[in-house]
Amino acid sequence: MRTVLCRLISSKTIYTATLMGGLMATLANAQSLPLKRDPQQGRAMVITTRGVAAASQTLAAAAGAKVLEQGGNAIDAAIASNAVMGLVEPESNGIGGDLFALVYIAKEDKLYALNASGWSPASMTREALRARGHVQMPESGIDSVTVPGAVAGWHALRERFGRLPFSKILAPAIQYAEQGFPVTELIAGDWQSTLAKLSRQSHSRKVYLPNGNPLKVGEVFRNPDLASSYKRIAESGRDGFYQGPTAEGILALMKEEGGLMSAADLREFQPEWVEPISTTYRGWTVYEVPPNTQGIAALMMLNILEQFPIGNLGHNSAESLHLLIEAKKLAYADMLEQVGDPKGASIPVSTMISKQYGKVRAAEIDTAKANCRAVPADLAHIASLPGADTIYLTTADSEGNMVSLIQSIYLGFGSGLVAPGTGFVMHNRAGLFTITEGKTNTVAPRKRPLHTIIPAFMRRGDVKITFGIMGGWNQAQAHAQFVSNVVDHGFNVQSALELPRFTKRTFEGCDVEIERRVPDAVLNRLRDRGHLIQLSDAFDSAVGNGQAILRNGEGVLFAGSDPRKDGAAIPASPSF
C-alpha cells in the first residue's frame, strides 16, 4: 500500500499498450454468450429452464432438485443440498462449520450477501491461549473451535427468502442419515486420510469409524445422531441448534475438553447481511463477499490482469499463466496483510479493489521473471497453513433466483472433535487467527477470523453466473482463473471448470502446483522464467473443485460440475 501512488506513473505505459487489446476483447465477448466448448471437455453442460442444483456429491444435488420439484425455490434447494452434503461429505462440511452465500433475487434484480461465519468465544484471548501453552494458533483440538455459523445462516436464508418449512427442506438429509447411503469414491479416499485425527476421540470414533475404520467405497453409512440434530432444526429453526439438546452436547464437549465456549457464545451469535464487493472485468461485473473473507483477492487479481491482453496470449500459455501466477502473489500479499474481521479494524477495501491500484500492481510484474518475494514480511503463522476441505454448491430456479453457497469445517474433519450425541464434527476456524499482537486478524473475544471460503457471482447485462471453487487458499486464485476462462477465452461453464488450473497455496517463494495436463513446452517456458513447478495429477483436487450455473436473458440455465469431485449438476423435473 505504501508505494502505490508513487508508482502510478510507471504503470501508464503498460496500461496504454494493452488498452486496445482489452477493448477489442470486450467488444468480441459482447457479441455472444461464453459457450465455447473445450475439445477435451469430459462432461456436457446440463441445460434446462426448470431449475437446477449443482453440488460435489450427487445425492446432495438430487436433494436440491427434488426440493425445486416440490415447489421450493433456489434458496430452499441450496439449504437442502447443503444439509445432505454435511452428511455425505463429512470431512469437508457440516453444521459444525461456517457458511457464506450470495443470493440473487430476480424480482428485485438484486444480489444479497450473507456472512454466517461464527465468532470466537468471549473468553478466547491471546493471554488465555498463551496460558494454555499455545505459541501459535492450534489447528485441531478444542482451542481451534469457534461458534459454528452454518445453521444460523440457513435460518437467515430461509426466513428472508425461502418458501418451504425446514421440515420439508431437511427431509432428504434426515432420511439419508437414518436409512443410510453408500459412500462415494473420492469422499471415501478423503475419509481414509483422516483416520489418525478421527481416532483420537471416542465420540468421533463412534460416529465416523463405526467398524474401527473409515468407510470404503460403496459401504453404507448411517448417522442417527445427525438425523436427530437435523430434526431439532426442522422443528425449531436456529433455536434447535444454538439452544436445547444440540447446544448442550456442544457444551458437554467443552467441559470434557476444557474448552472456552459458553452457552451465551452460542445463544447470542447472529449472522450478518453484508454488502457484496465487486469490480468490473472487461464488461462483466464480478462479486465477492467482503472481508473477513479472501474474496477481495480475486477482485484484486482481476484488476491486475485487466491491464494485460490475456485473451490474445492463448489459454494456459506460458505468457498468460505467468501473469496469473504473478497477479496471485501480489493480491494475496495485500489480502493477508489487511484482511480480518472488519469490526474494530480499518480495512482499505475501496483502495484494494480500485482500478488505479490494479494498474500500479500490474506495473510491478516482470513479464520475463517470476517474483519470489511478493509478500509482507510477517507471515510466520499463516504461511505455514495447509490447504483445506470445503464444499461449494449452487442452485437456480425457474423464476430466475440463484444461490451461490459455500460451507466448510476448514481442515479435513475440522477440529477432530464430535460433540456427544450430535453426529457432527466441530470446525477448527480459530486456527486461521494469528496470535501475533496488533494484526487485523489477531485473535480476540467474539471476533471472526480471516476466512478462506468464498462464493462468487458475475453478470453482464441479463447474463448471470453463480460460481465457486473450493480448497483453502486456492479459492481466490481459482476464481480469477474461472473468470478469465469465461471472459478472456469464451469457454462455457463446464469447460471453464474442467480446464487445467494452477494453485499456489504458499505465500512466499516461486513454487506453484500445476496439473500435468498443461503441455511440457508451456511448463518449460515457465521454468525458464523462474517458476518452481510441482506437477499434480490430472483433475487433481489440489486445484479445487467447483460448480457453476449460467442463466441467459431468456431464462435458460446452463450448469456445470467439476469432475475433480463426486458431484453433478441435476435438473429439476416436471410433475408427472
Task: Look at residue 3 and tell me whether its pLDDT is greater than 70.
Answer: no
Residue 33: pLDDT band with limits 50, 70, 90: confident
More confident residue, 4 or 78: 78
Any idea which of 8-17, 111-120, 308-317 has the lowest mean pLDDT?
8-17
Per-residue pLDDT, 375? 53
Residue 374: pLDDT band with limits 50, 70, 90: confident
Which of 107, 188, 153, 126 lies closest to 398, judged by CA? 107
More confident residue, 337 or 280: 280
> Considering the chain, what is the average pLDDT of its residues?
91
Per-residue pLDDT, 543? 95
Mean per-residue pLDDT for 565-572?
96
Angle, alpha carbons 18-19-20 (nearest 5°): 95
CA distances 313 to 126, 317, 323, 355, Å, are: 49, 7, 10, 22
Per-residue pLDDT, 240? 98
Mean per-residue pLDDT for 508-524?
96
Pick the catalytic residue: 48, 184, 390, 466? 390
The DSSP element (H or E) to which 234 belongs, if any, is helix 224-236
For residue 410, report the phi and psi dihedrals to the nearest 5 degrees.
75, -120
Q: Cell 477440529 maps to which residue?
A: 415
Q: Cell 495447509 maps to which residue?
A: 386
> Given phi > 0 = left and psi -120 to 50 = alpha, else beta, which region is 94?
left
Q: Cell 432438485 maps to which residue?
A: 65
Alpha helices in 274-317 (DSSP H): 295-305
> The dihedral of CA 280, 454, 389, 472: what is its sign?
positive
- The predicted model scores a pTM of 0.92
Residue pLDDT, tens place only, 111-145: 999 999 999 999 999 999 999 999 999 999 999 99
Any idea which of 55-64, 185-194, 547-556 has the lowest mean pLDDT?
185-194
Per-residue pLDDT, 26? 39
Residue pLDDT, tens place only, 268-310: 999 999 999 999 999 999 999 999 999 999 999 999 999 999 9
Instruction: Give the amino acid at 221.
Output: F
Residue 32: pLDDT band with limits 50, 70, 90: low
C-beta separation of 4 from 359 below 8 A: no
Residue 34: pLDDT band with limits 50, 70, 90: confident
273 C-beta neighbours (distance < 10 Å), count:
12
Task: Look at residue 29 and tell me whether its pLDDT is greater than 60.
Answer: no
Cell of 50: 426448470
Task: Look at residue 246 and tell me whether its pLDDT is greater than 90.
Answer: yes
Any idea which of 336-350, 456-470, 491-505, 551-565 has the lowest mean pLDDT?
336-350
**3-state secondary structure at position 204:** helix
Mean per-residue pLDDT for 139-159?
97
What's the rounded Cα separation, in Å, for the pair 451 and 454? 8
Per-residue pLDDT, 1? 40
User: Annotated catalytic, 285?
Assistant: no
Per-residue pLDDT, 343? 87
Residue pLDDT, tens place only, 72-87: 999 999 999 999 999 9
C-beta separation of 534 from 518 below 8 A: no
Which of 126, 230, 224 lies closest to 172, judged by CA? 230
Strand 568-571 relative to strand 51-55, pairing? antiparallel
Per-residue pLDDT, 14? 38
Instruction: Report the chain's C-alpha Rg in angstroms.
Output: 22
